[in-house]
């Protein structure tokens, strides 16, 4: 099992086992109360001892349940002593307490030591009954054998529960890991590796279901000449910086894309054309006033932006074509400007 799957199994199985152990502790406390009530209503020679032992058993297990303590060997020893005491005193229903104790201890030790746990509890149960019995009557033997068989069946059942839950948790861990990997692959396939913005594929998917938005197509002016003059590494630095300016300058609901090459697309949902133009002008100003240097020499970088409005009556492709036409006009008019499609 992978580390992730083991983490899921440990946390998931631990939570489920703790819940079952808490439930059996509470049921044990309730069962001990019945034993105490039976001793009071039908007092025998050792009724006072039964009441004291039942009360101690109830309080001890309810405190453990309230604290949500994990079962320990000390708890096993204390409960076995109390159960044996109840058996020796002739308490009714004391055999139920052994069964409940066995369930939660098997959940503690797991399938590898389940039968050893069942054997230990069975031996204490049988020994206490033999000491209490006046004679080895047939009814006594049948009852003892019946309960020992019950211990074995409970152990097998608890082990089966363990196996089923562990397998289920492994599957859940594998599914969670697959989902994580799919999400990672999806993010990688829809993210531009250089700028960290969404890419062209993401643009096609994410704009398909948006009914209304303002679209900005942003182009870095004279980018080819920039690469030729200063090299592609400097060009990559420019792309990264412009991408960061766009990321910082948009709202949480806006979507920013590196559409391709030196071209970016910015989708502004629920935005008026006037506000979209203001955002475009702000981005143009920020890039134009950002200081770029190559080998210590300042390099002026500007951008041109085409703006269009997408509404329910306009297809996504048409909105992009309009913004692209506006961008073409911005370049034709001298670049470093924003133009709205009209």
Which residues are 307's β-sheet partners?
A: 216, 340
Write out the two tokens for 244.
Answer: 């960061």
Q: In 3D, which of 17, 165, 30 has the Cα closest to residue 104?
A: 17
* Rg value, the chain, Cα: 37
Q: In 3D, which of 176, 171, 197 has the Cα closest to residue 262?
A: 197
Catalytic residue among 262, 263, 274, 281: 262
Please tell me the distance from the alpha carbon of residue 91 to that of residue 83, in angstroms, as a whole number: 9
Please tell me the distance from the alpha carbon of residue 259 to that of residue 200, in angstroms, as a whole number: 5
Active-site annotation holds for 263: no
Write out the two tokens for 41.
Answer: 């209503």
Count CB atoms within 10 A of the CB of residue 3. Answer: 8
Segment holding 278, helix H or strand E: helix 273-288
Please tell me the distance from the alpha carbon of residue 16 to that of residue 20, in angstroms, as a whole number: 6
Q: In 3D, which of 214, 338, 327 has the Cα closest to residue 270?
A: 214
**Which of the residues are catalytic?**
262
């Amino acid at each position: 099992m992978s580390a992730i799957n083991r983490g899921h199994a440990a946390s998931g199985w631990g939570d489920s086992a703790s819940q079952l152990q808490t439930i059996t502790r509470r049921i044990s406390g309730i069962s001990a109360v019945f034993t105490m009530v039976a001793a009071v209503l039908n007092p025998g020679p050792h009724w006072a001892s039964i009441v004291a032992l039942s009360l101690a058993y109830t309080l001890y297990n309810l405190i453990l349940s309230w604290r949500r303590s994990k079962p320990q060997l000390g708890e096993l020893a204390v409960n076995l002593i109390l159960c044996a005491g109840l058996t020796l005193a002739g308490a009714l229903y004391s055999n139920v307490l052994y069964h409940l104790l066995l369930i939660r201890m098997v959940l503690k030790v797991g399938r590898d030591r389940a039968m050893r746990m069942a054997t230990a509890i069975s031996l204490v149960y049988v020994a206490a009954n033999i000491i209490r019995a006046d004679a080895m009557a047939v009814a006594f033997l049948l009852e003892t054998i019946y309960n020992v068989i019950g211990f074995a069946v409970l152990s097998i059942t608890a082990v089966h529960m363990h196996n089923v839950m562990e397998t289920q948790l492994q599957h859940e861990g594998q599914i969670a890991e697959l989902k994580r990997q799919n999400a990672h692959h999806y993010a990688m396939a829809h993210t531009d590796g250089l700028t960290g913005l969404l890419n062209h594929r993401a643009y096609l998917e994410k704009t398909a279901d948006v009914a209304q938005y303002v679209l900005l197509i942003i182009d870095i002016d004279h980018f080819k000449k920039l690469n030729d003059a200063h090299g592609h590494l400097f060009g990559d630095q420019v792309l990264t910086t412009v991408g960061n300016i766009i990321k910082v300058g948009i709202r949480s609901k806006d979507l920013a894309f590196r559409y391709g090459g030196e071209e970016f697309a910015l989708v502004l949902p629920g935005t008026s054309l006037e506000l979209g133009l203001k955002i475009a002008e702000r981005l143009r100003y920020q890039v134009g006033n950002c200081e770029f240097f190559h080998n210590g020499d300042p390099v002026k970088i500007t951008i041109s932006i085409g703006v269009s409005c997408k509404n329910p009556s306009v297809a996504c492709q048409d909105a992009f074509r309009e913004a692209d036409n506006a961008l073409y006009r911005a370049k034709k008019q001298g670049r470093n400007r924003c133009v709205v499609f009209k």
